[in-house]
């Protein structure tokens, strides 16, 4: 991960541990280096089956990092962006953050008793899963707003962290943070090993994802771009400054909001972008519009047995989450984006398998 990389450089500057490590590694002659490079990719992407998706990744990394390549990209421009829900981890049957917000409602109502008999909080408190699943979008937004804002930044992080430690996914009975796709974890690391800075660019809440991004993905908080509300600086009773999460939307990091968020937060166009739904379409278009070689990939959920199968591109109906439409599939084919078939391209879906 980036920070470990920096830490490593630090060590070099102190001329300590690395010296000993490096000294025992052989210097490869140029002819062998090529084979070693391919070997390295194969080892690091071991949860990927051989096929067009894996090959596209290897070709891209090779072409953009080999100094003798006409497609070489200077290290400072190596940016790769990843959607999260459905691209890095499971998004079914509900976005994890939405589950968090729903489960926060009882604690919220305890603090604000006046919400007890008011919709949509009343329905959430009823525990009627069918009714909850049917709540319209504006009701969900109201619940999100009420449970994600109004507290200090530190309070929010502490609550979210605590919840993530105990919450379990209904199907696998495991923490949500274990339901990350092992092939994508390998891809993140492989890109970082090749000098790419990996960013999450998610429609989910920036502050929510930042709570676990370093631990789960090796991505530090500053490399998480997400839907974000503003904060308000103020002082507590002892005169100590703190930030309160305000119900004022700054970044709606979905659809066109993704390239807009990327410009605001990163200021450079990515060379590679990964998504799984129409919410990622503009990010992939924006990435593809740059010069040189670019890599755009979409995860297709076509594996009901090991994960889920959903969306028109998998020949299945629309769902509330992660809509991979037929139109998106057609655009991918037309523009040379690579569709990752979970069923065919992934040898393994989860690390715990």
Site residues (CB under 8 A) for a second copy?
Answer: 2-10, 12-16, 18-19, 22-23, 25-28, 33, 65, 74-76, 79, 153, 193-195, 197, 206-207, 210, 214, 220-222, 224, 228, 230-233, 240-243, 250-251, 256-257, 259-260, 263-268, 282, 285-286, 289
How many CA atoms within 13 Å lie on the side-chain side of 275? 30
Helix H or strand E encompassing 204? strand 197-205
Helix H or strand E encompassing 298? strand 295-300
**C-alpha to C-alpha distances, 309 to 55, 318, 325, nearest whole angstrom:** 24, 11, 13
User: In the complex, what is the shortest distance from the CB of residue 199 to a second copy, in angstroms, rounded to a whole number?
Assistant: 8
- Helices 182-193 and 30-44, packing angle to 10 deg: 150
User: In the complex, what is the shortest distance from the CB of residue 250 to a second copy, in angstroms, rounded to a whole number?
Assistant: 6
CA 235 – CA 101 distance, rounded (Å): 27
CA 245 – CA 250 distance, rounded (Å): 12
Helix H or strand E encompassing 198? strand 197-205
Partnered with residue 199 across adjacent β-strands are 81
Cis-peptide, bond into residue 93, ω within 30° of zero = yes
CA 21 – CA 304 distance, rounded (Å): 45
CA 262 – CA 283 distance, rounded (Å): 8
Residue pair 284/299 in contact (Cβ under 8 Å)? The answer is no
Partnered with residue 202 across adjacent β-strands are 226
136 phi, psi to nearest 5 deg: -70, 165
**295-306 burial by CB neighbour count: b if 16+ within 10 A, else e?**
bbbbbbbbbeee
């Amino acid at each position: 991960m980036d920070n470990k990389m920096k830490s490593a450089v630090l060590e070099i500057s102190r001329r300590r541990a690395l010296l000993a490590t490096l000294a025992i590694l052989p210097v490869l002659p140029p002819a062998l280096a090529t084979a070693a490079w391919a070997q390295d990719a194969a080892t690091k992407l071991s949860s990927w089956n051989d096929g067009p998706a894996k090959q596209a990744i290897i070709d891209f990394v090779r072409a953009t990092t080999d100094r003798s390549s006409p497609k070489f990209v200077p290290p400072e421009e190596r940016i790769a962006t990843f959607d999260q829900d459905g691209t890095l981890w499971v998004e079914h049957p509900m976005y994890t953050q939405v589950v968090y917000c729903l489960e926060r409602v009882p604690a919220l109502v305890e603090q604000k008793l006046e919400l007890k008999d008011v919709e949509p909080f009343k329905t959430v408190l009823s525990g009627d899963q069918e009714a909850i699943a049917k709540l319209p979008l504006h009701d969900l937004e109201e619940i999100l707003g009420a449970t994600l804002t109004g507290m200090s930044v530190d309070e929010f992080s502490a609550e979210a962290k605590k919840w993530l430690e105990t919450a379990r996914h209904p199907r696998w009975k495991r923490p949500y943070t274990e339901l990350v796709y092992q092939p994508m974890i390998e891809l993140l690391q492989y890109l970082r090993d090749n000098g790419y800075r990996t960013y999450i660019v998610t429609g989910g809440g920036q502050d929510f994802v930042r709570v676990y991004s370093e631990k789960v993905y090796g991505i530090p908080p500053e490399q998480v771009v997400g839907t974000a509300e503003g904060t308000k600086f103020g002082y507590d009773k002892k005169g100590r400054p703190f930030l309160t999460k305000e119900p004022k939307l700054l970044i709606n990091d979905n659809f066109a909001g993704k390239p807009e968020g990327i410009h605001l937060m990163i200021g450079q166009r990515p060379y590679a972008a990964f998504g799984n739904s129409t919410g990622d379409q503009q990010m992939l278009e924006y990435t593809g519009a740059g010069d040189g070689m670019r890599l755009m990939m979409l995860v297709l959920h076509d594996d009901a047995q090991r994960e889920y199968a959903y969306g028109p591109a998998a020949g299945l109906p629309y769902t509330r989450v992660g809509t991979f439409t037929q139109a998106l599939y057609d655009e991918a084919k037309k523009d040379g984006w690579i569709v990752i078939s979970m069923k065919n391209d992934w040898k393994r879906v989860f690390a715990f398998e």
